Structure 1
Amino acid sequence: MTGDLLNTVIRDDRDVFAARQIGREVAGAAGLDDLDRIRVGTALSEVGREIVAGAREAHITFRMEEPSGLVVEITYSAGEGGIPPAGVTLAARLMDEVRHETALRTITMTKKITGGHAPDERTIGEIRERMATVAPAGVLDELRQQNRELAAALEDAQNHRERLLRLNAELEETNQGVLALYNQLSEELEETNRGVVALYAELDEKSAQLREASEARNRFWATVSHELRTPLNSVIGLVRLLLGPGGEALTEEQQLQVELIGNSAQTLLALVSELLDMAKAESGRITPELTPVDLHELAERLRMTLRPTSGAEAVRLTVDVSGGPRVLLTDEVLLSRILRNLLSNALKFTAAGEVSMSARVDEGDVVFVVTDTGIGIPREHQQLVFEEFYQVPGTVSLNSRGTGLGLPYARRLAEALGGTLHLFSTPGTGTSVTVRLPLVMEDTPQEG
């Protein structure tokens, strides 16, 4: 929407003062604030002075144009030389847009209205009526008005300056607080870093001590095992000589006593071997030797070997590995020790009922399960039984007291074979131990 508000002509300096006044009034009627009114009047004054300085006259038209702006169009006549750019340059700093078309001798200046809404026809008509009643002020009156505007601008500038000084003071105070906080945080961070460094040094020292203790323990087990093996083997050899052919005849009581000595020596020798294997497993020095193992033959040997240890006929030992592979590629010695320890442990703590071992294939693993109907293990002790030499308080073996190495030893060997060992038990009902090993089968040649 376009609407002309007012037209005027400037020919001399007196008209320039009048144009300044009229521009200010038109801007106020169009809805511009005081500062924008001053900007419009000053821009008209500066451009008008440059025009009349070259013996020219100019026609000025005020109108409202979309988008929501007051447009001042100045068309000037030909004069002496070109218009100096100073006035137009200053006007460009005061108005939102200034276009100087020298070929058409036209200068167009635009000032946007705050809020972005142009006045309607009725409002434009009211502005025209109001401008028609505005009488041009005299030179002195306009100078007074300019002085008042200058004084207001200086006062406003002073207020801005004072406000900026206050803001700078507040900012400086804030910066000092931030700097103090930064210094405090830096000191605390440095202190924390020193504590962390000291903690790391202490941890390194503790780790070194633990490594030394572990190495010392492994050396101790190796030394003890070596020192015990020789006399135990000697005892076992002497027992065989006494009980074997060619020796002097023993009474029944003497033969029983010698057999007890031999059995005790065999038990101690097995315990020494377990201790040595435990030390090797902890240090990672057990290297499984994979060979084809016939699970059915292994299970039958275990059944025949352990059947006498079940004692009374009230305990039944059953072994069924038909659900597993016929041949498994693994370390036969380690697997035998795992299963023998689990079965021996189950028989040891089962007074009546059944001890069974089964095997099956499950998700790429072979799973061995040893269950019994023995005394069971309370829940709070089911993780502790995997600690070396730990024994559940208040439990006594039916045949002989355990050493507390069976389950830890079996778990270490299962891990050495790349598998896992888990236990589930209910007091008074029994215990179930599950060993899961990677399924690696050996191809067997077909008969034909």
Structure 2
Amino acid sequence: MGDAADAARSAGPPAVLTIPLLGEREVFALRRDASAAFRLLGLPEAETVRLTTVLSEVGRDLLGAPGLTARLGVEAADPPRVTVRLDWSGDLEPSGDILRAADRLLDQCDWTPGTRSVLVLGQPLARTSLSPAELAARAREELVGLSGISMSEELRNQNHHLLAALEQARAHQEELQRLNTELEETNQGVMALYSELSKELEETNSGVVALYAELDEKSRQLALVSEAKTRFWANVSHELRSPANAVIGLTRLLLAAGADPLSAEQRQQIALIAASGSTLLALVEELLDVAKAESGRLEPELVDTDLRSLLHQLRGTLGGTARPGVRLVVPDDSRPQPLVTDEVMLTRILRNVLSNSLKYTETGEVRLDVGTEDRRGRPWYVFTITDTGVGIPADQQERVFEEFYQVRGPHQRAVGGTGLGLPYARKLTELLGGRLSLSSAPGEGTRVVVELPAETRIPLPGPAAGDSDEGDGVPPLGSLVVIDDDPAFLVSVRPVLAAVARGVTEVVDSSQAMAAVRAQRPDAVLLDLSMPPPDGYQLLEHLARDRALAGIPVVVLTAGDHEGIDRSRLTHARAVLGKTHLTPGRLAGVLHRQPATGRGQEGGTQP
């Protein structure tokens, strides 16, 4: 069995030569013949030197092992492989250093110990169309003529091959040196490029930081401009409200039942003055509301809205503005669906859209339709305004919602306007949680749809103190001092004051106000806030500090925006009332009720 196993292991690829290694002479012959065979088989010179050197060292290391034999053959593989198989008997093992060197230098180094140990060394050959047997046969034929080479000739051959190997190694070293030089130059270029890119990136980052700083500064400036614009609108609205209120008040006096008789023409002229004053006041309030909406300070006040009354009011106020040949159609809505919204805002939305349609409709009609829809369980109102007017080009339909923008054309010269109506209507619609959309075509008219949630019914607060006519029927005061630097307002408010007090003292110069109050010791003081120094805030502080005057009730009157009032400085005021809708009942209701709680907020919402 052992002989059969050894015989099986000794079988291998087609042999080129077989040499028993008995001594140094045989090792020399193995090196010589193997080197020649490797070259004949096409093994590259460098690999020939490596394989021959390892084979020579292994042969010398194993000399003395019983039956040591070297067999060189060609193994069938892809690509084919030249192998040298050394086998021997006994316990002798090859040196570990030689095995490690062979494993490092050669493609194959396999050692199998046993009764007959085997060491196989191999290197791959180039691909060829010849079979391993044909390669082995050709190499054997070539080796026949080399068997007579002397040792000196073999040494010369080995030296020649060694010199060739050294030359090849030197060439490889020079190539490596050249590649290292190129790599170093490439690295230097990369470092230079990296440095340049880093510098550019640093400059870019600096530019970005500077740009952000500039953007922050621009944002700050825009915020300041926006704040200044809001303050401007508030101040201008106050300055415009006062004379507008005075005009409206004076026309009311002239048109009152007890006033001097007027001719029909005079009454018509005064009515036109009153209408113009009311239009001016409405425009001022719209300007202020636009500024408040942009700054986020305009908040809707939800109330039960009588839609039928609202539509009737629109029909009455706008019907007379339609051109001859244009019909305004506003329904007499009586649907049961409740509407809880800001009634003032809704009125202004519909009035602005209808007014805009009436302006640009020369023939035909302007129609308002009202409908309701259920959207995800919530009721919505849909107000649709259609007209047969000039229409708006498609590229202008979004621009009409820009403040102060008006579509240019011959129709524009025939009508007035500020370009605030539609932007204002859209802002108010959005504040009420709805949306306003527009579709139009030149020559075909315009369709505007206002969609608003009907809202859920909410607990409504009772009327604010001073907002109702709770003072009707109460006895008048004995005396009253009113301090205001606007003579026109003082004239227009005299009938209101005469209804709540038997004696009224008017003070136009605020510097004389304290002296007048000390002299009169009135039952109440009416005080305007916006006056030359000392203004209303300062006078209120003087009255609060004067023990003799601190008990006199003070009511603040203002034509300005209530949100612009500094309520922290009004702790001594009983109430704040707006000049626009001041009535005897409201004023008397404030003056005759219990003193304020010190917050100066009763009646603080403008009627």
TM-score band, normalised by shorter chain: 0.7 to 0.9
**Change over 3 Å in CA distance of 1:151–1:429 after alignment to 2:** same
1:413 to 2:428 alignment: yes
1:395 to 2:406 alignment: no
**Change over 3 Å in CA distance of 1:336–1:47 after alignment to 2:** same
Matches within 5 A, 1:416-435: 416-435=431-450
**Change over 3 Å in CA distance of 1:113–1:319 after alignment to 2:** farther
2:315–2:330 CA contact under 8 A, matched in 1: yes
SS for the counterpart of 1:428 is coil
1:21–1:137 CA contact under 8 A, matched in 2: no
1:150 to 2:165 alignment: no
1:181 to 2:196 alignment: no
Q: Which moved more, 1:408-417 or 1:122-131?
A: 122-131
Aligned to 1:37: 48
Distance in 1 between residues matched to 2:47 and 2:423, nearest whole Å? 91
**Change over 3 Å in CA distance of 1:411–1:6 after alignment to 2:** same
Deviations 1:113-159 (A, max 9, x none): 34498834434433344444541633222222221122112111111
1:90 to 2:101 alignment: yes
Aligned to 1:60: 70
2:74–2:132 CA contact under 8 A, matched in 1: no
1:231 to 2:243 alignment: yes
1:10–1:58 CA contact under 8 A, matched in 2: yes
2:147 equivalent among 135, 139, 150: 135
Matches within 5 A, 1:173-322: 173-291=185-303, 293=305, 295=307, 298-312=310-324, 314-319=325-330
**Change over 3 Å in CA distance of 1:315–1:127 after alignment to 2:** same
| 1:302 to partner: Cα distance | 2.7
2:19–2:26 CA contact under 8 A, matched in 1: no
1:3–1:121 CA contact under 8 A, matched in 2: yes
| 1:214 to partner: Cα distance | 0.7
Deviations 1:285-313 (A, max 9, x none): 1223344546555444433442232243x
1:369 to 2:387 alignment: no
Q: Which moved more, 1:43-52 or 1:109-118?
A: 109-118
Q: Which moved more, 1:156-165 or 1:105-114?
A: 105-114
| 1:163 to partner: Cα distance | 1.2
SS for the counterpart of 1:105 is strand
Deviations 1:308-335 (A, max 9, x none): 32243x111223598x993344333222
Instruction: Specify the code of the residue in structure 1 equivalent to 2:150.
Output: G
Instruction: Specify the code of the residue in structure 1 equivalent to 2:419.
Output: G
**Change over 3 Å in CA distance of 1:433–1:118 after alignment to 2:** farther
Distance in 2 between residues matched to 1:321 and 1:19, nearest whole Å? 124
1:60–1:73 CA contact under 8 A, matched in 2: yes
**Change over 3 Å in CA distance of 1:115–1:292 after alignment to 2:** farther
SS for the counterpart of 1:309 is coil
| 1:41 to partner: Cα distance | 1.5
TM-score by length of 2: 0.66
Deviations 1:231-250 (A, max 9, x none): 32232122122112111110
TM-score by length of 1: 0.87
Aligned to 1:446: none
1:368–1:434 CA contact under 8 A, matched in 2: yes
Distance in 2 between residues matched to 1:250 and 1:225, nearest whole Å? 32
1:25–1:131 CA contact under 8 A, matched in 2: yes
Q: Which moved more, 1:160-169 or 1:262-271?
A: 160-169
**Change over 3 Å in CA distance of 1:390–1:46 after alignment to 2:** same
Distance in 1 between residues matched to 2:448 and 2:106, nearest whole Å? 91
SS for the counterpart of 1:8 is strand
1:30–1:119 CA contact under 8 A, matched in 2: no
2:49–2:162 CA contact under 8 A, matched in 1: no
Distance in 2 between residues matched to 1:368 and 1:237, nearest whole Å? 34
| 1:284 to partner: Cα distance | 0.9
Aligned to 2:517: none
| 1:381 to partner: Cα distance | 4.3
SS for the counterpart of 2:443 is coil
Query: Which has the larger share of helix?
Result: 1
Instruction: Specify the code of the residue in structure 2 equivalent to 1:374.
Output: G
Distance in 1 between residues matched to 2:151 and 2:320, nearest whole Å? 134
SS for the counterpart of 1:249 is coil
Aligned to 1:386: 401
Distance in 1 between residues matched to 2:370 and 2:254, nearest whole Å? 42
Aligned to 2:462: none
Distance in 2 between residues matched to 1:325 and 1:47, nearest whole Å? 113
| 1:389 to partner: Cα distance | 2.7
Q: Which moved more, 1:85-94 or 1:218-227?
A: 85-94
SS for the counterpart of 1:433 is strand
Deviations 1:158-197 (A, max 9, x none): 1111112221222222222222222222222222222222
Distance in 2 between residues matched to 1:152 and 1:218, nearest whole Å? 95
Give me the identity figure in percent: 47
SS for the counterpart of 1:374 is coil
